[in-house]
Amino acid sequence: MRPGCCTGSLKRSLFALVEVAVALVEGSCCSVCFLGCFAASAVLEDLFLKKRLMEGQDLVKEQDNRVLTIPPGSLQPDPGIEINMQSLSIQDPEVLHIQADQNKEEQGQYSRYNILMKLAVTGGSPRVLSLQVVQQSMSRAWRENYHGISQLSRYIFVAHFRSLEAAMFVITRQPWSMGLDNFLLEWMDPEDQTRNIQDYKFDVIFVTVRVYGVPPRFRSQELLTKILQSVGQLSEFHPFSQAMIHAKPDYMWGTIKAKVNISVRDRIWVSFAKDLAAWIYLFYERIGRICTFCGLMFHSVQYCPTRNNLLISRQRLQISLDQIPSVRFGQWMVNVDLIPKHLNSEIQEDMDSFSSFLNPQLVRLQKQFMQSSKGKSKVSDEGGVSQVVNKELSPKEINKQRQQLQQGDTSKYSEMHLQQKKF
């Protein structure tokens, strides 16, 4: 089809159609003219369709030519990605940083009930704990009683509670620990607004003590009280109950308020009757470290200031290494598996194998027999122990060295003798 032919035919058909329309208006057009006008309109519609089709094809060709003839450099990269043609690398998108404010309300800084917490250290350098680590650890331990913890200084934290019951849960279930480290707690009285931070001493801790080695027939409240009082003060929050004596087949137990700067005991020599006596062993629940040289809690023998001072000054003091052993207290104080397994088996055997006589003469003979048999079997062992003890520094000498390091501190002997009434 020649260019412009459709346009000329379209114009002629359009003029003819106009003439017929004018004739129809004036009334001078016949039926033949009307049919011609209808045919002309059909032709006109067909020509319009052909013209639109041709214009569409021309538009497609024009767009194809435009795509093929895009000048170089006209493409613009995405503003979020910078393309470096030399290094052929794509830089990462910019990272948006937003600072989130700490929620004061959630941490409980406005709580009425608060407890100060300090890491317990009596030797060596204190461990630095982050606030987040303390929060996560205590929230798992305290569960629904946990409300929030904030940090007062590098080594002191403040625990916040919604109620007095939640705070008492934490106080009465001491000690709390993170690994081998324990916390010392101080209650903040909400009614006392005059107390300064220096007034909080962090010098006591509530500890549950297990007493191993007491035969069941000799267990009593009186004996348990004597043993616990030899280690510390009886807890005012843990009244006596029969469960402390008879609930466990292997041991009795009770809770004490122990002084941090006073040595604990590892064992006690108890006389159960006139002819029966034995060692009983003490285990301190959830205490991570007890020094096996000085008996103080919250440091190991490696970081014992008393022993290290003696080691450094031993030439001046004219003492040998044999007089400064690393183990003077039993390691079972923090590891119950190390408690001697026999645990007064000989006493129990004597109690079960022999009759209890009322005749004084028979009682005297039975007592002589028991003493003679025990003396023959243990004379060599006891001699070896006595020689080792004589080589070591006496508790008095060790206490003197400790007082030079810590003024006002007192200590106790690792051994103690208790008299038990005959039942």
Rounded CA-CA distance 51/112 in Å is 89
End-to-end CA distance of the chain: 134
Tell me: do 176 and 228 sit in the same domain: no
Residues 214 and 166 in one domain: no
Domain end among 45, 62, 79: 62
Instruction: Give the domain CATH number at 166.
Output: 3.30.70.330
Same domain, 213 and 254: yes
Of 167, 199, 231, which one is at a domain's C-terminal end? Answer: 199
* Tally of CB atoms within 10 A around 313: 13
- Region of 393 on the Ramachandran plot (φ > 0 left; ψ -120 to 50 alpha; else beta): beta
- Nearest partner of 205 among 268, 140, 117, judged by Cα: 117
160 phi and psi angles, rounded to 5 deg:
-110, 145
Domain boundary (199, 223, 248) is at: 199
Angstrom distance (rounded) from CA 189 to CA 369:
62
Give phi and psi for 114, each to the nearest 5.
-140, 150
How does DSSP assign 277-300, residue by residue? EEEEEEEETT---B-TTT--BSS-
Per-residue confidence (pLDDT) for residue 174, from 0 to 100: 95
Whether 381 is covered by a domain: the verdict is no
Q: What is the dihedral of CA 299, 388, 282, 353, to 10 degrees?
A: 160
Residue 251 and residue 188 share a domain: no
> pTM of the prediction?
0.62
Range of 276's domain?
A: 205-290+329-365+412-419
Structural domain contains residue 230: yes
Q: What is the pLDDT along the chain (423 residues), one digit of tens a residue?
A: 455 555 555 556 556 656 656 565 555 555 555 556 556 666 666 666 666 666 665 555 555 555 445 555 555 655 555 555 555 556 677 777 777 655 544 455 668 899 999 999 998 888 888 999 999 999 999 999 999 999 998 889 999 999 999 999 999 999 999 988 999 999 998 888 888 888 899 999 999 999 999 999 999 999 999 999 999 999 999 999 999 999 999 999 999 999 999 999 999 999 987 778 899 999 999 999 999 999 999 999 999 999 999 999 988 988 888 889 999 999 999 999 999 876 655 555 555 444 444 556 665 665 666 566 555 444 333 333 333 333 566 666 666 666 666 654 433 333 455 554 443
My answer on whether 124 and 15 are in the same domain is no
The token pair at 275 is: 């002819």
Say whether both 222 and 171 belong to one domain.
no
CA distance linking residue 179 with residue 226, whole number of Å: 32
Burial, 241: exposed, middle or buried (Cβ in 10 Å; 0-12, 13-18, 19+)?
Answer: exposed
- Tell me, what's the pLDDT at 377? 42
pLDDT attached to residue 348: 55
236 and 273 inside one domain? yes
Instruction: Find all residues with CB under 8 Å of 29, minimum gap 6, and list them.
Output: 20, 23, 37
Residue 316 domain-assigned (yes or no)? no
Q: For residue 9, how many other CB atoms are within 10 A of its CB?
A: 15
Examine residue 345 and state whether it is found in any structural domain, yes or no. yes
Q: Is 130 left (phi over 0), alpha (psi -120 to 50) or beta?
A: beta
The answer to the question of residue 217 being in a domain is: yes
164 and 224 inside one domain: no
Per-residue pLDDT tens digits for 72-81: 555 565 555 5
Same domain, 181 and 162: yes
Residue 91 lies in a domain: no
The tokens for 310 are 């003696």
Residues 194 and 252 in one domain: no
Which strands form 233-234's sheet, in the order they lie side by side? 233-234, 251-259, 204-212, 276-284, 267-273, 417-419
Do 360 and 213 share a structural domain?
yes
Is there a single domain that holds both residue 117 and residue 194?
A: yes
Residue type, 142: W
Count how many domains the chain has.
Answer: 3
Helix (H, G, I), strand (E, B) or coil at 340: coil
Does residue 69 belong to any structural domain of this protein? no
- 30 within domain boundaries: yes
